[in-house]
Structure 1
Amino acid sequence: MRPLKSFDPRRWLLVGTAALCVALPGAIATSGTTARAGGTLEERKLPMKFNWVACEPDCRGWVSAVGIITSDTPKDFEEFARGRQLGGATVVLDSSGGSVNDAITLGRRFRNLGLLTTVGVSNRGGQATRPTIAPEAYCESMCAFLLLSGKKRYVPEAAHVRVHQIWMGDRADDAKAASYSAQDLMIVERDIGRLAKYTFDMGGAGDLLSLALSVPPWEDLHELTAGELKLTNLVTTDLIADVLPNVNLAGPAMAGLAAPAMADAAPKSQERFADHPDVQAAKSTQTAEALVPTGGVATPTTAPQK
Structure 2
Amino acid sequence: MRSYRWSGSALLRAFAVCIAWTSLAAVSSVTTASAGVLEERKLPMRFTWVACEPDCRGWFTAVGIVTGDTPKDFDDFAKTRDLGGATVVLDSSGGSVNDAISIGRRWRKLGLRTTVGASVELQSSSGVMKPAVLPQAYCESMCVFLLLSGKTRYVPEEAHVRVHQIWMGDRADDPKAASYTAQDLMIVQRDVGRLAKYSVEMGGSGDLLSLSLSVPPWEDLHRLTADELKLSNLVTTYQIDDVLPQERKPDTTPVASLAPKTIQDRFVSGAEDEKPVASTVSTTKTAEVQAPTGGAAPAK
Partner of 1:302: 273
Q: Which amino acid aligns with 1:103?
A: A
- Structure 1 or 2: larger helix share? 2
Partner of 2:18: none
Is residue 90–residue 244 contact of structure 1 (8 Å, CA) maintained in 2?
yes
What is the alpha-carbon distance in structure 1 between the residues aligned to residue 116 and residue 166 of structure 2?
22
Query: What is the aligned counterpart of 2:57 among 51, 55, 60?
Result: 60
Partner of 2:158: 158
Structure 1 residue 42: Cα displacement: 1.1
Give structure 1 stretches of 5+ with no counterpart.
Answer: 1-32, 257-298
1:99-151 CA deviation, whole Å, 9 max, x = no partner? 00000000000000000000000014589211011110000000000000000
Structure 1 residue 305: Cα displacement: 9.2
Larger Rg: 2
1:201-231 CA deviation, whole Å, 9 max, x = no partner? 0000100000000000000000001111001
Q: Which amino acid aligns with 1:234?
A: L
1:70-108 CA deviation, whole Å, 9 max, x = no partner? 010010001000121100000000000010000000000
Structure 2 vs 1, CA of residues 233 and 162 (structure 1 numbering), >3 Å: closer, same or farther?
Answer: same
- What is the DSSP-based 3-state SS (H/G/I as helix, E as strand, rest coil) of the residue aligned with 1:162? strand
- What is the DSSP-based 3-state SS (H/G/I as helix, E as strand, rest coil) of the residue aligned with 2:89? strand
Q: Which amino acid aligns with 1:46?
A: L
Query: What is the aligned counterpart of 1:90 among 87, 94, 103?
Result: 87
Q: How do residues 265-304 of structure 1 correspond to structure 2 at under 5 angstroms?
A: 302-304=273-275
Partner of 1:219: 219
Q: Which amino acid aligns with 1:239?
A: Q
Structure-2-length-normalised TM-score? 0.72
Structure 2 vs 1, CA of residues 300 and 170 (structure 1 numbering), >3 Å: closer, same or farther?
Answer: closer
Q: How do residues 163-202 of structure 1 correspond to structure 2 at under 5 angstroms?
A: 163-202=163-202
Structure 2 vs 1, CA of residues 47 and 234 (structure 1 numbering), >3 Å: closer, same or farther?
Answer: same
Partner of 1:120: 117
Is residue 169–residue 272 contact of structure 2 (8 Å, CA) maintained in 1?
no
What is the alpha-carbon distance in structure 2 between the residues aligned to residue 84 and residue 49 of structure 1?
15
Is residue 52–residue 131 contact of structure 2 (8 Å, CA) maintained in 1?
yes
Partner of 1:147: 147
Partner of 2:31: 34
Partner of 2:249: 250
Is residue 44–residue 94 contact of structure 1 (8 Å, CA) maintained in 2?
yes
What is the alpha-carbon distance in structure 2 between the residues aligned to residue 300 and residue 59 of structure 1?
43
**Stretch moving more, 127-136 or 205-214:** 127-136
